Structure 1
Amino acid sequence: MTIEPTSLEVSGVEITKTLLGDLQKLQQYTGEPIAAVYADNLLRTMRKLCDQLPFDLYTEVVMALYDALAFQNRWIDYTANQYKGVGELLTSLINQEIINNSSVESAILTLENLGFHTLPFGVKIEESLDTDDDLDTY
């Protein structure tokens, strides 16, 4: 029997308060050198959440945002309005009594709609690559 995590633990809520504070500061200082300090804090807190609650559904959303921010330091490219939208999204997510797979999917789609590229590590496959030749060698 598989038990699906459905709600946040207290530590996840506490970590989210820190995330929201850093998001607010990042929103306030977007485009200024001091924003790097808040981005660093934000990314470290996201990793802390992943370390403390690796199997929580809420962590999946946070780590999708992490990928969008950390890959090639793209946190620099996002606007104050985008950071505001993330803050609102995380607030609404933690205020839900139950977080399920549908909530996670919806939240990640919302991140995408806000302009965050949550899957930046894509791989391109060459169409000219002949994979049938590899099967003949075995």
Structure 2
Amino acid sequence: MEIQENETKTEAFEADLSFKSFTVDVNAKSGWKDTGIEVREGEIIRMEWYSGTWRGDVGMTNCPKHGPAGPTCDAYTALAGYPLPGVVEDSLVGKVGNDVFFVGEQLRKISRTNGRLHLTINDTGHHDNDGVITMKVSIGRR
């Protein structure tokens, strides 16, 4: 019941916002992708997986390419040195300013800071990666 109440409050809050939408390609071979999207503290960031697959290591032939949630087999937790330690390796992560967060297949969050939105695969080395995913990004503004 409490979850439904919170969802209703969030939806009512979002109904008062104007959303601007973008599609962003994120290449697994690249580091942080500057999306060119400026976000201000308090704005709503929504992301949804639109298309594409990737893999964090082309040598992992036992695992198929996967979406931004991370691999469906041989999934590991990212260690120190990764863009976002503690979440699934090879998943999609984002950042605004110094606020780094898990995105996965979808995200809905209130920005805690001002800055440019960046996206990347949660990996330490990009040279052996393969694939591109496309995300639909919407920013809610008053």
- TM above 0.5: no
Instruction: Return the structure number with greater relative CO, CA threshold 8 A, min gap 6.
Output: 2
Higher Cα Rg, which structure: 1
| Larger helix share, 1 or 2 | 1
> TM-score of the superposition, structure 2-length normalised?
0.24
| Larger strand share, 1 or 2 | 2
